[in-house]
Amino acid sequence: MILPEPLEILIEELNKLPSIGRKTAQRLALHLLKSQKEDISNLVNSLISMRDNIKICSKCFNVSVDDECEICKSPKRDNSVICVVEEVSDVIAIEKTNEFNGLYHVLGGVLSPLSGKDAASLKIDELVKRVSNSNIKEIILALNPDTEGESTALYLAKILKRFNIKITRIARGLPIGGDIEFADEATIGRAVLGRIILE
């Protein structure tokens, strides 16, 4: 059976989303088909509202409804510390901890020659400009602890060296609730090297 065209097109569109395969797309489309028309309209309206109202903050490249995001605008935040992250989802994850009160800078990825991401395609120039134009005391590099994240951190550290500010990297070690016995050697090694003095 060739599916009715509107259904087929919807399945194709859903299939384009990350981690949505053809079977899942079909299941979602058939679920929507059985839903109330009102529910579909709600989804449609939320997509349109997101498309038309969400901007990228001109300062830190986080999501925002205005030109500057809530975090950049807030008078309560410490604007002498910038936490550099890969994606907006990392901002959300760090904000959830309530452990950080500074500003962010979303790079939009990490250096990755294999997938064609070079320094020019990331917001590195913008970061350098922010550091040179305002009174920044510390840059925290909160990039993923993988090869690309590590090399991007080293690259940024080298570039930012000339400003004579504190450059830090978030700690590597055992995750909370983790078990030494089952952790991999690299993680245990980093945890030992990065030990902190208690008394």
**Residues of the shown chain interacting with its own copies in the complex, contacts defined by CB under 8 A:** 1-7, 9-10, 12-14, 16-20, 24, 26-33, 37, 39-44, 46-51, 53-54, 63-65, 69-71, 87-89, 91-92, 95-96
CB of 89 to its own copies, least distance (A): 6
> Toward its own copies, which CB reaches closer, 3 or 174?
3
> Toward its own copies, which CB reaches closer, 69 or 127?
69
Q: Which residues pair with residue 63 across a beta bridge?
A: 56
CB of 26 to its own copies, least distance (A): 7
167 contacts 139 by C-beta, under 8 angstroms = yes
User: Whole-angstrom Cα distance, residue 20 to residue 18?
Assistant: 5
Which residues lie below 8 Å from residue 45, measured CB to CB, with a gap of 6+? Answer: none
Q: How many CB atoms lie within 10 A of CB 84?
A: 24
User: Whole-angstrom Cα distance, residue 3 to residue 33?
Assistant: 13
> Toward its own copies, which CB reaches closer, 13 or 146?
13
CB of 76 to its own copies, least distance (A): 12
CB of 92 to its own copies, least distance (A): 6
Label residue 181 exposed, middle or buried (CB < 10 Å: 0-12, 13-18, 19+).
exposed
> Toward its own copies, which CB reaches closer, 10 or 81?
10
> Toward its own copies, which CB reaches closer, 90 or 148?
90
CB of 138 to its own copies, least distance (A): 20
> By three-state DSSP, how is residue 155 classified?
helix
